[in-house]
Structure 1
């Protein structure tokens, strides 16, 4: 069963094609079969076994479908593979009962070049089904056999292109290759009575990780020769290539972020990593040219508040040209600055631009509408009225994965007190961006 379109080009960076994006045009000129550096004209595909029930996770939802920032974990893994333009096809093996849910994920998050096959009862049987689809050995399969196939776990979402390139290049030369990492703990071998028999010298051994890559004919022939015991109880694809294909895999040092989401605590770690990655750029938007001074001061405070963050400026008053470019670069955090103005029309313009861009399909976009007022000029009833207005806007755009918050900065004319107000405001903005708390959406915070 197939979903998506294997022949459509995908972006070099994570995320969907944005309307009017120059990146989409540049990538679409590449053939999906065009390989990366050092691969020549090799056609590369990937197989993701995703039929597990996640019993070690201790949650009713299989871990590959567990939501992180309200998006299934497997979607992040697909995104990591999709951004690699030289991977021609991605085959996902899922159980029959989850086939419809997987199709919905592909459609909702606009994944391209993804085909589905039914998973087997074990990991190896699921991989075998994926290989059969690539070999054309399954009914209605329209996929073409690749020269090299990547096998990767659906719950390892942080794989980078350089690691994929290393294992594929090594597989072309050696027939098989896999990522490894140093052992964290010493491995013990217990005796039958539960006592220590012996331990392995940790420095001489490595942990097998994913991704792994193979010349397609090597791994497919190995699976065709497998015994039922191998398919039901085996776990290591590299061992199958050695056992049945006499192919010694090249071991490639992997990066620390190749870990597999296995336990419930891993979900929190994965969410933290994703939040950190999408919080590294903030666009401070000026509503009018007269806002430049306060906007500049706020930018400076934000730079001090969030280490290694890139703060850029966009301008709604300049027809949004700079802002459009920033959106195309996939910035997910916006601060809209209003000076002596509590009208939300300009914030609405920004929200409309973001909605039209489809930027929020993959990640929640944060918008903080900041309003500067002299503290004596805003009566309490006006504060309440404006809080209700921003809440209405926020509830509407939240449906499109845009998180809108309000911040009222009441500042006196005293410069030192203004600096302190800005510092507090920057702290609040940084926290909203880093945490992305949906429970605070629509709130008007005051400093």
Structure 2
């Protein structure tokens, strides 16, 4: 058992992640329906249920951070402290986090674990070993035995040494320290201009502290490259074994207007659709499909038309809320497949834009959204152009 004032975990998430390719910093990339950082924080909150967590972020990433933590499991958010801004290097970012802890009596712990945000599979046993090692040695890091032969080379690439493999370890995080020890080491390094040390163990070593290596975990992977992102997502998806399918169906009549809303996209038309909200028939059907997959009622039970606050509301609010419910259950939207039934407007020219809009609202890749359209051969109310109908099927994956 970890006492509430004993341990704070410092999560380093201020980097730009350039080696992961173009796009958002890797800690905010979506993996299995949630940002990588959300997975990392969830793992730590579960693995260390009595620890506090402080995240160091880049000054430009506050909104991305807020979006990431908004979907965490209910009851866990309160243990996350407000983030602090990091510096230009990992070393500066860690020191900023340590100084923030030192200035807040409610945060200042006996022991601190320093964890890279890019490691999203921290286990309870790893956290407990880290804390035990910190208590025993004051400074300790997880490591795993090296299985490949390692060669040291010179500037020309010629081998100059072959270190004994039995004495080598691949180093991981979380790195574990007595708080006053690592804070003093960081302050000393900063005061003496020693700013190029690559991890906290190196800082402790430079300050003259002996650092112990305890047993790490092979599964405690670090996401660095685009290939790592793909591997991590595959591993996350493999753990979501409760696969569910929901369906949704909605109809709205045509009325006066000069546009319709479909999947959150405004499409010019010679009529509008009539409804309590913006009558986005496609978003309504998809929302019901997602709620059905979760067995959480339908759109009317969550956003009743009797409630005046939803009069004229943008239906993307409903779709986003349903998608958020999937993420809140620790799950992901695996696929959305929807069909529109109408004579006009023609959907083909707008198909890709509608897909992109739905993907953005649901926070999933556009490759997981399929939109089709059909006429009803002039039969029925859609054939008479009295209205539109939409049918949607959603597949979600949840943890067992």
TM-score tier (shorter): 0.5 to 0.7
1:281 paired to 2:242: yes
- Corresponding position of 1:364: 332
Q: Which runs of 5+ in 1 are unaligned?
A: 1-35, 286-331, 337-345, 370-382, 386-393, 404-434
Q: 1:217 and 1:74 mapped to 2: Cα distance?
A: 27
Aligned residues: 297
Counterparts of 1:36-185 in structure 2 under 5 Å? 36=1, 39=2, 43-109=6-72, 111-112=77-78, 113-136=80-103, 141=104, 143-185=106-148
Work out whether residues 139 and 209 of structure 2, in 8 Å CA contact, stay in contact via their aligned partners in 1: no
Q: CA deviation at 1:142?
A: 6.7
Name the stretch that deviates more: 174-183 or 354-363: 354-363
Q: 2:144 and 2:89 mapped to 1: Cα distance?
A: 25
Q: 2:245 and 2:38 mapped to 1: Cα distance?
A: 29
Work out whether residues 44 and 148 of structure 1, in 8 Å CA contact, stay in contact via their aligned partners in 2: yes
TM norm structure 1: 0.56
Moved over 4 A (4+): 39-42, 227-231, 282-285, 332-336, 346-357, 365-369, 394-403, 440-445
RMSD: 4.0
Q: CA deviation at 1:65?
A: 1.6
- Corresponding position of 1:327: none
Work out whether residues 38 and 71 of structure 2, in 8 Å CA contact, stay in contact via their aligned partners in 1: no
- Corresponding position of 2:232: 270
Q: 1:41 and 1:89 mapped to 2: Cα distance?
A: 7
1:438 paired to 2:400: no
Counterparts of 1:295-314 in structure 2 under 5 Å? none
Q: Which runs of 5+ in 2 are unaligned?
A: 247-289, 303-320, 342-354, 373-390, 394-400
TM norm structure 2: 0.62
Q: CA deviation at 1:122?
A: 0.7
Q: CA deviation at 1:248?
A: 3.0
| Post-superposition CA distance 1:88-116 (Å, at most 9, x none) | 32111112112232233333546432321
Work out whether residues 142 and 214 of structure 2, in 8 Å CA contact, stay in contact via their aligned partners in 1: yes
Question: Alpha carbons of 1:114 and 1:440: their partners in 2 closer, same or farther (altered >3 Å)?
Answer: farther
Work out whether residues 13 and 55 of structure 2, in 8 Å CA contact, stay in contact via their aligned partners in 1: yes
Work out whether residues 323 and 333 of structure 2, in 8 Å CA contact, stay in contact via their aligned partners in 1: no
Q: 1:357 and 1:117 mapped to 2: Cα distance?
A: 26
Select the residue among 186, 191, 195 that pairs with 2:158.
195
Q: CA deviation at 1:66?
A: 1.7
- Corresponding position of 1:378: none
- Corresponding position of 1:238: 201
Work out whether residues 133 and 143 of structure 1, in 8 Å CA contact, stay in contact via their aligned partners in 2: no
Q: Secondary structure, in 3 states, of the residue corresponding to 1:97?
A: coil
Q: CA deviation at 1:154?
A: 0.6
| Post-superposition CA distance 1:2-39 (Å, at most 9, x none) | xxxxxxxxxxxxxxxxxxxxxxxxxxxxxxxxxx2xx5
